DNA sequence: ATAAATTTTTAGGTTTACCTAAATAATAAT
DNA sequence: ATTATTATTTAGGTAAACCTAAAAATTTAT
């Protein structure tokens, strides 16, 4: 797997923290498929940098700083995932890609994507174009609606 | 900067190759802002793995395999950039983000995005929704067109 | 054609994110 | 309460992508 970022670790600790009580090296090691010994090192580093409270053998909790990062990362993740799913990408793939993109994408881009998801979700009746896109994706044809007439008009992508 | 992938190197060599005649350690070192000595190592590695033809001191050229990777990466890059620009992200940011996303995105996702860009580009008259989105991005309001009537109807995002 | 300047390579670091194996601490079972 | 089991940490690797400084090759200037 790809090299993990601080955001990855913190986000994961956040998720685990909201399930179980305490987060231990073993949980994290399993989730990230790395060695528990490596998680100890990661805990030390995250602790030094103020993202978690860590004392030997006791399991860790996020600090305020850590929680802030975790929440913003998770929000980015959800937005990206929703965004990809709006375009028709399946849930699992959307999740995988969101997980990678969330760490690298520019905040300006993120803002646009967030607004886009809002736009689609808030104005459901203004999104016939999405059905058109999906139809185009499947068939290569563009569905043109004649307004005031429920019949559909198929226009091949070739003839435009 | 982020750790560079083989794709980064190969794509860059491709771009340089299409400008100058030969690609030298120095060009690459400058472009990637790393030490020429490191580029020698990279050349050795890329050569071993069959992406470039490399002989000491002579500059390098892409092999068929290398060119294939380069072209597909560049295509991904252009698609991603166009895609982001369609959503209204500025050229420079779109370029930066495309450069990062191109290396990590799933091929299924890439396919969707490609189709999406095609969809928008081929059916320009079916993309009023994009103007609506941009208006929404700027103002938080949704522009509803009354068909058969050129007047616009503003619907605030609140009241939906 | 030789000296000077430049480019490229070599050799030997450093850092970072992992690893394994063994030691130590904590927990569960009798 | 000891013992056995499990979890965690320590100590000491490895590999990869960088680095610097110095050596070697190439190019340019005279």
CATH of the domain at B9: 1.10.10.10
**Which nucleotide's C1' atom has the smallest distance to the CA of B35?**
D19
Q: Residue A159 has what pLDDT?
A: 40
In this structure, are B32 and B90 located in the same domain?
A: yes
Query: Does A15 reside within a domain?
Result: yes
* 3-state secondary structure string across chain A: CCCCCHHHHHHHHHHHHCCCCCECHHHHHHHHCCCHHHHHHHHHHHHHCCCEEECCCCCEEECHHHHHHHHHHHHHHHHHHHHHHHCCCCHHHHHHHHHHHCCCCCHHHHHHHHHHHHHHHHCHHHCHHHHHHHHHHHHCEEEEECCCCCCEEEEECCCC
Assess whether B137 and B60 both reside in one domain.
Answer: no
- For residues A140 and A118, state if they share a domain: no
Domain span including residue B145: 128-159
Closest CA to A52 of A25, A87, A84, A91: A25
Listed as ranges, the nucleotides of chain C within 7 A of a protein C-beta are: 7-12, 17-22, 25-26
Tell me which residues of chain A have a C-beta less than 8 Å from any C-beta of chain B: 2-3, 84, 87-90, 93-94, 96-97, 100-101, 104-106, 108-109, 112-113, 115-116, 118-119, 122-123, 126-127, 129, 132-133, 136-137, 142, 144, 147-148, 157, 160
**Do both A110 and A142 map to the same domain?**
no
Per-residue confidence (pLDDT) for residue A94, from 0 to 100: 96
Cα(B86)–Cα(B80) distance, integer angstroms: 10
> What is the H or E stretch that residue A141 is in?
strand A141-145
Tokens of A24: 């231990």
When pLDDT is averaged across residues A104-112 and rounded to a whole number, the result is 94
Mean pLDDT (chain A) is 87
CA of B42 to nearest chain A CA: how many angstroms apart? 19
Ranges A114-123, B101-110, B135-144: which has the least confidence: B135-144
Contact A80, A70 (CB under 8 A): no
Two tokens at B96? 């930066």
């Amino acid at each position: 797997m790809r090299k993990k970022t601080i955001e990855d670790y913190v986000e994961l600790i956040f998720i685990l923290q909201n399930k179980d009580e305490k987060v231990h090296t073993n949980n994290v090691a399993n989730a990230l498929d790395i060695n528990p010994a490596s998680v100890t090192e990661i805990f030390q580093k995250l602790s030094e940098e103020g993202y978690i409270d860590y004392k030997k053998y006791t399991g860790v909790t996020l600090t305020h700083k850590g929680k802030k990062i975790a929440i913003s990362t998770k929000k980015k993740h959800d937005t990206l995932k929703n965004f990809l799913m709006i375009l028709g990408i399946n849930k699992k793939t959307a999740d995988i890609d969101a997980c990678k993109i969330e760490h690298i994408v520019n905040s300006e881009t993120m803002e646009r994507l967030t607004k886009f998801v809002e736009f689609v979700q808030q104005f459901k009746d203004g999104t016939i174009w999405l059905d058109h896109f999906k139809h185009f994706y499947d068939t290569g044809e563009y569905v043109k609606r004649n307004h005031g007439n429920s019949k559909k008009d198929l226009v091949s992508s070739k003839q435009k």
